[in-house]
Structure 1
Amino acid sequence: MMYITRRVHFNAAHKLYNPAWSKEKNEEVFGKCANENWHGHNYVLYVTVKGEIDPETGYVTDAKALHELIQRKILDQVDHRNLNLDVPFMKGKICSTENFAKAIWEQLAPEIKQGKLHCVKLYETENIYVEYFGD
């Protein structure tokens, strides 16, 4: 099995907030991340596809096509946006890094035609990231 990974970066704002809770409980649980005026991150996203090497192309998947897919399905929707307000695939979700990575997976997995999506790794900061391998 071979794995190929594409790395991209983008900037986005969000806040962590559970609408079922009071302002005080949100602040208690999420701290500064519940700031009513939002906060932002310089995200780094790694998308890994796995599969066998195609003997005709030498590819697991076409890296250019993978980048174009990530651009269209993810970056065009999230870069310099407010995840809570502007991103349709995040509507109704708490904008944690965990939920965000899973939502990215859900956008990409059905669209990958060569190989299979193996992992979405999303860095929120240089010190914290999540990895999602599907259900």
Structure 2
Amino acid sequence: ACWKVLSEKFAPANLSGLSLALSPFRKASICAEETEVIYFSEKFEFAAMHKLWNEQLSEKKNLEVFGKCANPAGHGHNYIIEVTVKRPLEQGDFGIGEFERIIDQEFIKLVDHKNLNVDVKDLAGVNPTVENIAAFAWGKLALHLGERLHCVTVWENDRTYCSYCGARDS
């Protein structure tokens, strides 16, 4: 009902989505394709170091592949992870406290103030790029959020990020 009223107010433009910033770190969204579903997103911060370096490559090649992040001693970031879940509007209360507990226990505590190459066993042997961190976060959180998990976005800085929305059936 709300969607119909808003769509009419903006005619002749097509309303494709609507987001409400609940705080600088939380938002709720609906989209035209699924007006009976709400998407809730929250951002969390963690600090970690990683080494983007391939021992099989020369120093020159490592610099070509990893740019300024190529350092055999590693380097660190203050990462931001945004986790988005979806649920039908008619389900009532969301349970933000439980959502935050899951993110903290199942992901943040695994990576915060850690060396991702050494301290996080699931990332051992994997170059912990922002893409691999996002996929790792998805895997950990999907175990507890299931079908509710919609997307995970990890920012390394304001220009480097990856959104991972899990494997989709084709």
Residues 21-100 of structure 1: pairs in structure 2 closer than 5 A? 21-55=57-91, 58-59=92-93, 61-100=94-133
Which residue pairs with 1:132 in the alignment? Answer: 164
| Structure 1 counterpart SS, 2:105 | helix
Q: List runs of 5+ in structure 1 lacking aligned partners.
A: none
Distance 1:17 1:104 in 2: 21
With the length of structure 1 as denominator, give the TM-score of the two structures. Answer: 0.87
Which residue pairs with 2:42 in the alignment? Answer: 6
- 1:105 offset after TM fit, Å? 0.2
- 1:13 offset after TM fit, Å? 0.5
| Structure 1 counterpart SS, 2:128 | coil
C-alpha distance after superposition, 1:38-73 (max 9, x if no partner): 111111110000111354xx23x4211111111111
Bigger relative contact order, structure 1 or 2 (CA pairs below 8 A, ≥6 apart): 1
Query: Which range is displaced more, 99-108 or 81-90?
Result: 81-90
Query: Which range is displaced more, 124-133 or 12-21?
Result: 12-21
Matched, 1:122 2:158: no
Kept in 2, the 8 Å contact 1:13–1:38? The answer is yes
Q: List structure 1 segments (4+ residues) > 6 angstroms apart after TM superposition.
A: none
| Count of aligned residue pairs for this structure pair | 131
AA in 2 matched with 1:120: V
Distance 1:53 1:65 in 2: 18
Q: Sequence identity of aligned pairs in percent?
A: 40
AA in 2 matched with 1:42: N
Distance 1:49 1:6 in 2: 9
Which residue pairs with 1:112 in the alignment? Answer: 145
| Structure 2 counterpart SS, 1:112 | helix
| Structure 1 counterpart SS, 2:156 | strand
Distance 1:16 1:2 in 2: 37
Q: List runs of 5+ in structure 2 lacking aligned partners.
A: 1-36
Larger Rg: 2
| Aligned alpha-carbon RMSD (Å) | 1.7
Distance 2:70 2:119 in 1: 17
